[in-house]
Structures are given as structure tokens and as C-alpha cells.
Amino acid sequence: MTGTKQWAVFCRHARWEILLIDPSDEFPLSHLRKKQIEFKLCCFAAWLYKARPPLASGTISAYVGHVRSQHSVWLDGEAFNVLLGATSRLTKVFKAITKIRPKQLRKKVAFTILLIQKYYDANKSRIHSSSYDTFADTRNFALICIAFYQLCRMSELANMNPPSQANAYPILLSDVKFFAADHSQIPWPHRSSFTGKFWQRVDYIRMRFPPSKADPFSYNSDIFFPRPSPGEQYVSAFTAVKLLISLYPMRQDFAQVMPLLRQKISFPCDQVKVSTFWGGFKAGCRRAEIKYSVFGTHCFRVAGMNRLGELNAGPVIISAHGHWASDAWADYGRRNQQVLMKWVNKMAGAPSDSDYKYQ
């Protein structure tokens, strides 16, 4: 017995339909009530972890996500994470579960800028197409570039299970602003005609940074995508966002409710699901002859961090650009074996005069 049927039987016997929000609750929920509900979610996750035979951490997350999504149905479509807000304690519980089972952790392998360029070259005709059938290719490439150049987590750009704060407040098309070289804002073009003449005036794109586990209330500063400089070697995030907006424009009155990285072309539409993106990403990798089995949802964030390190960016820049409140980013560097091997060779190279200065 698997899937939906198994979950339905589980709910009937365990009666988790009364686990969290009670029909008698008054909205908006008080701070104390929110904490009580969060605590119950944590207990639920911990109880699932004690199951025998053991459940995979992904299964535990899925069951908790089922409870949350079911509440959205009972509450007439009101997003559960909007009612409850950030669930930091639940996040810590999930971290504890994955650390207890280290064998199930996917190695954080970087999808490097060279692979992004290879991916782009192999899928260029599809990325530059304005066909209904190739919308996902253009959207997926924009997501890859935004994640790489802004060191974004997948949960900040795509709809994941369990839900995150970014699912409730995704980047909307109306959040995308255009600015000239003198920092004056360029209005949304009439009838959404993003012509070559319009882009000639744009010096950089600015958009709101979505909420994250480190910043659940979205206090982070906006993100910026400058126009590529002449002779720039690799494809930029500016170019990727420009392609998505130009090839698949949306009326300005719809831009207030349409996510930038949406599931499909037409209105209405929600933020793209991570499973949808991942399927298209793998298809693109196959066309580029890239082995994708080693890559996880943090592969672009890890790659962006390592790229900054290769360019000699200091810890302050890396922490600020990746919105890290701690030095957790250093763990990504320790996993970057290719860069570490280069330094091993440098250590065996010819010494400089400074090496003997204090001997």
C-alpha cells in the first residue's frame, strides 16, 4: 500500500486532521498559538523519525508537507505558511534528522560556470525560442543563472515541499524593475513591448529578494543584475532574465500576481515547482551531455560561492552576497576538490623570494 492511499489510511488511524489548527481558532492567529502549532509540527516530525522501520528524511518532510497542504484545503485555499509564518524550529528538527542520517545527504557538488556555459550552448536554440513548447527551457535557464549569480537556494526560487516562506511570497513580474545608467527607473513598456530600443536604455535590472530560512521576513536588500560589459566571457543573469521577459511578456496588470519563474506561460499560474524544474534541468543536461546525477538543489549556490572564491572575494563579500548569517558557507569550500587540487599543485611549485624572507 503506497502513495495517496497509504497516507489516507495513516490520517484516518492517527487522526492528524486535528493536529494543528482548530476550527474554533480565531484569525489572525496569536503569537502564542502560532508557537503551539509549530511545536506540534516539530513533535509530529520527531514522532515520524521514531518509526520502525526507519523512514527516509525526505519521506518525513513529505508527510509534514501533506499535513500543511491539507490545512490549506480545509482553510479554503489560505496558504498554511502565510497563517503560521516562519517555522524556524521545524527547520532545525529537519536539520537534526538529516545529520543523524549522514549517509542520506547528497554531496553538494557545484554546477560550475563552465557547465552553465556548456548547458547554454547545447540548449541555445530552445532558450532563445518563443514557442509554447520551449517556455520551460527559457524559464529554467533564467532560474539557473539567478541561483548561480545571486547564490540563491532552490527554495527561494522554486516551490518546494515542505513549503517555504518563498513559496508564499515569490518574486513577481511586478518586482522586476528597470533602471538607466543615471539610476532613474524606466517605466514598464507600453503593451509590454520589450523591444531592442527599450533594452538599450536599461543599465541594470533590480528585483526583490524572496524570503529565506535565514531571512523569513525578507529584510535582505534587493538583488541587482547589471548589463553585461563588452567582452564578458560567460552568459549573465541579466541576459537570462531579459530573454525570459522579452520572449514571454505578460501584461502589466497581470504582473502584480504572476511569478517571474512561473509554472507555465498563461495566466493564472503559480511559481514553478522544484520537481518541474528538475525534470527540465535533467533534460537540458542530457542534450549537453552533462552527467547530472551528482547535482542537488544547492549545486548553483555552491558553484556561485566557489566562483567568488576563485575570483579572490573575501569572507565578507561571500557572506553578504550569499546572505549567510554564519560561516556555514566555508563548508562548501571544503567540498570543492577541484579547486583544492589546484592549490596542492601550487604548493609544490617553485618558491618565491618572500618564502625565504623570514627564514
DSSP state string for 31-60: HHHHHHHHHHHHHHHHHHHT-SSPPPHHHH
**Selection from 252, 142, 137 nearest residue 205 by Cα:** 142
- Long-range contacts formed by 42-49: CB under 8 A, 24+ apart: 42/89, 42/90, 42/93, 44/16, 44/19, 45/90, 45/93, 45/94, 45/97, 46/93, 49/97, 49/100
Average pLDDT over all residues of the chain: 81
Q: What is the mean pLDDT of residues 41-46?
A: 84
What pLDDT, on the 0 to 100 scale, is given for residue 4? Answer: 44
Distance CA 153, CA 357 (A): 45
Which stretch of DSSP H or E encloses residue 223?
Answer: strand 223-226
The string of pLDDT tens digits covering residues 62-117 is 888 878 777 777 777 677 777 777 677 887 887 777 766 544 445 678 899 999 99
- Asked if pLDDT for residue 355 goes beyond 60, the answer is no
Angle subtended by helix axes 135-149 and 237-247, to nearest 10: 150
Q: What residues contact 31, with CB distance under 8 A and at least 6 apart?
A: none
Q: What is the mean pLDDT of residues 346-354?
A: 66
Q: What residues contact 129, with CB distance under 8 A and at least 6 apart?
A: 137, 138, 247
What pLDDT, on the 0 to 100 scale, is given for residue 149? Answer: 94
Q: What is the mean pLDDT of residues 8-25?
A: 58
What pLDDT, on the 0 to 100 scale, is given for residue 340? Answer: 67
Identify the residue with better confidence: 49 or 358: 49
Q: What is the mean pLDDT of residues 206-230?
A: 80
The string of pLDDT tens digits covering residues 319-336 is 888 877 777 777 666 656
Q: Please count the CA atoms within 13 angstroms of the CA of 254 that sit on its side-chain side.
A: 16
Distance CA 264, CA 277 (A): 11
Q: Which three cell numbers stand for residue 188?
A: 514598464
Q: Give the pairing of strands 177-179 and 204-207.
A: antiparallel
- Asked if pLDDT for residue 38 goes beyond 50, the answer is yes
Distance CA 105, CA 271 (A): 26
What pLDDT, on the 0 to 100 scale, is given for residue 1? Answer: 38
DSSP state string for 249-281: ---TTTTTTSBSSBSSSSSS--BPBHHHHHHHH
Main-chain dihedrals φ then ψ at residue 143, nearest 5 degrees: -65, -45
pTM of the model: 0.68
- What residues does 259 pair with on adjacent strands? 172
CB contact at 8 A, 227 and 109 = no
Give exposure, 121-131, as e/b (b: 16+ Cβ within 10 Å): ebbeebbebee
- Asked if pLDDT for residue 246 goes beyond 80, the answer is yes
Least confident among 244-253, 274-283, 339-348: 339-348
Q: How many CB atoms lie within 10 A of CB 98?
A: 16
Identify the residue with better confidence: 235 or 338: 235
What pLDDT, on the 0 to 100 scale, is given for residue 106? Answer: 52
Residue 264 burial class via C-beta count within 10 angstroms: exposed 0-12, middle 13-18, buried 19 and up: middle
Most confident of the following: 134-143, 166-175, 324-333: 134-143
What pLDDT, on the 0 to 100 scale, is given for residue 350? Answer: 64
Q: What is the mean pLDDT of residues 258-281?
A: 90
Share of the chain above pLDDT 70, in %: 81
Q: What is the mean pLDDT of residues 151-163?
A: 82
Identify the residue with better confidence: 27 or 258: 258
What pLDDT, on the 0 to 100 scale, is given for residue 2? Answer: 43
- Asked if pLDDT for residue 231 goes beyond 50, the answer is yes
